A and B are shown apart, each in its own frame.
Chain A
């Protein structure tokens, strides 16, 4: 396999497989039925709500639905999902984002199309990037506080909760992107409603993801939630500073515009909060062993020397 595609090709295969599995409902309610606890295993990152209890029903949905529903079953509806979420993110970090997320694949395919057409990507300045990363935490906070306000009996809004929109369903580009194909495939009934705002955000998302690499990941609230736990996860990106020549290739190829792995001169763990573990940096690094992906301290992938470069 060509060295440049050493990681991106398997990643694409993983993404496609994950998409098929998610959409065919191999996991979750479809396979485990209504078994307690197992029913509550949701992928931490997928921002989709195809229908209730689907495995791609992310924690953000779960939290907002639960809070809207007046905290009836505190343990199974809030504590357990959060616990499972933390465990899943601790084990794999944000590997979920680059390798398994159903929204990652269309973004990567759009970038691939752009590359083929020879159109350059739009490079966000650091200020804009930082602002977007702050926005997603703000969005997460607003979504949750809004739904809490809807769910709390004391606020007086609880009577309106059937008529007011649930925010995350509205902004989620997955809705229009995957619900229509699923209706077409017969997985969902044709009467499924897609909010009009979601169609708008989907188009917005598709256009911007074409021009900006991994645009949705910059503002994804589910990613924001994972980012809180991600730095402590078993999966880490580590750097051997003595082997680094500071050539800045890693920072340039990073679709999330992260510069930590380039700037770091001493420490070994360079996993940034926004890192999606796509390993573009590791794939392009021309120094043997300068960057590596570790699982519980054990190296599973390392950068290779220029000697193997396929030209």
Chain B
């Protein structure tokens, strides 16, 4: 029970006015950015506009999709909303990973915003600051965005919660501790045993205490319950969309991935409402057998490194060459809201336990070993979702996903399921090469089909 007590803690310094020795991070960032920040922001926004335009012009687009494409232009409507929220005294908390218990942020009255992103322009900046060219581009992009003064979403954050599933994310919290208020979260690498569970609950309670300090609101039982129920509604809507998607190929994978990415960026209640609207529309389409692609389009599943907006390169290629993404095993896709917080009794301890369990145990992140959950999840999706082939997206420098891609590709091939690993970066240089490989893969799937028939 001592765990539950709110321990005395030093108040969190806003934007990290740290008492420790200053290693000159601010000056370094300033000299590296060298006034190019506004250009990079403008280029990133341009990329968002281009991708949004592309998504808006897809054929057989459901009408309810317009809302999501509109919100995906974050620099426009969403940033204005967040600024309004901040002007009213609200605090914004950035999250760097799906391990962050958003229910606690919401219950404290703060606004959770996912910072995972795929902007290309700031990648070089992040790389120069962190100094490791072999690191994953998504983290480099995040680092770059944090360095720029006025980047949408990033500059609005009052605090950032950074779980540490991989080395890159672990070091982000160290490198930026002098410029941002960062709360690191220790993610255990093995999720077995009672001590691990206790340690993780303690980590969740620390986040709760930090959130209370940040906002000055106490997370009462009532507030926590309301937040949990709010997110349960989102989970429910999400599961409904997944079920609808199984009834027929009524939604482009690209649209689906966008909705998933927006789950932690948009206002969750409004998002839930719109997902339900979309499900209504898609259910109708499914009953009328209106598919988005041709009837014989190969049904593909994407797994591996997260695909972050606006880096829609791989899904674009896959669906442009004639396949349809029917399923995915991405932490930026289906996994965002798949596992619900189920509470058996509404006591404070039981709710915190439920939140802790939901974020750790069902997670299929490759940072865990053994990772049976991931294997089972992929096999299950392949069997139940009518998947004909699996494409692993291995982001250059993302060691965990690359290693898992090798292991899982071998596992799937052993089971007779075609699998392909695509190693890629955020840049557009390899589009042609990837397209050729994906085309060959799809031809193989179609050849397999002919053989079976």
Contact = CB atoms under 8 A, between A and B. Distances in A.
A245 B377 contact: yes
A121 B358 CA distance: 20
A68 B357 CA distance: 51
Contact of B243 (A118, A246, A249, A305): A305
A71 B34 CA distance: 98
Contacts of A306: 235-236, 239, 340
B373 interface: yes
Interface in B334-381: 338-340, 342, 344-350, 353-354, 357-358, 361-362, 372-373, 376-377, 379-380
5 contacts: A245-B339, A245-B377, A246-B362, A265-B372, A305-B239
A73 interface: no
A109 to B, nearest CB: 14
B236 A311 contact: yes
A119 B347 contact: yes
B171 interface: no
A311 B339 contact: no
A280 B344 CA distance: 9
A248 B362 contact: yes
Given A115-B345, A265-B372, A307 B221 contact: no
Contacts of A280: 344
Nearest to B345: A115
B357 A252 contact: yes
A241 interface: yes
A142 to B, nearest CB: 30
B339 A247 contact: yes
Given A242-B379, A242-B380, A309-B340, A248 B239 contact: no
B357 A249 contact: yes
Interface residues of A, number: 27
A133 B233 CA distance: 39
A47 interface: no
Contacts of A284: 342, 344
B232 interface: yes
B234 to A, nearest CB: 9
B235 A247 contact: no
Closest 4 CB pairs of A and B: A120-B349, A247-B362, A248-B361, A253-B344
Contacts of A247: 339, 342, 357-358, 361-362
A309 B345 contact: no
B229 interface: yes
B240 interface: yes
Contacts of A119: 347
Contact of B236 (A126, A243, A307): A307
Nearest to A4: B344
A245 B362 CA distance: 6
Contacts of A115: 345-347
Given A115-B347, A246-B361, A309-B340, 12 more contacts: A115-B346, A118-B347, A121-B345, A121-B347, A245-B362, A246-B362, A247-B361, A248-B362, A252-B354, A253-B342, A305-B243, A311-B229
Interface string A278-292: 001000101000000
Interface string A224-267: 00000000000000000111111111001100000000000100
Contacts of A241: 376
B377 to A, nearest CB: 7
A125 B195 CA distance: 11
A121 B353 CA distance: 12
Interface in A187-225: none
B373 A246 contact: yes
Contacts of B236: 306-307, 309, 311
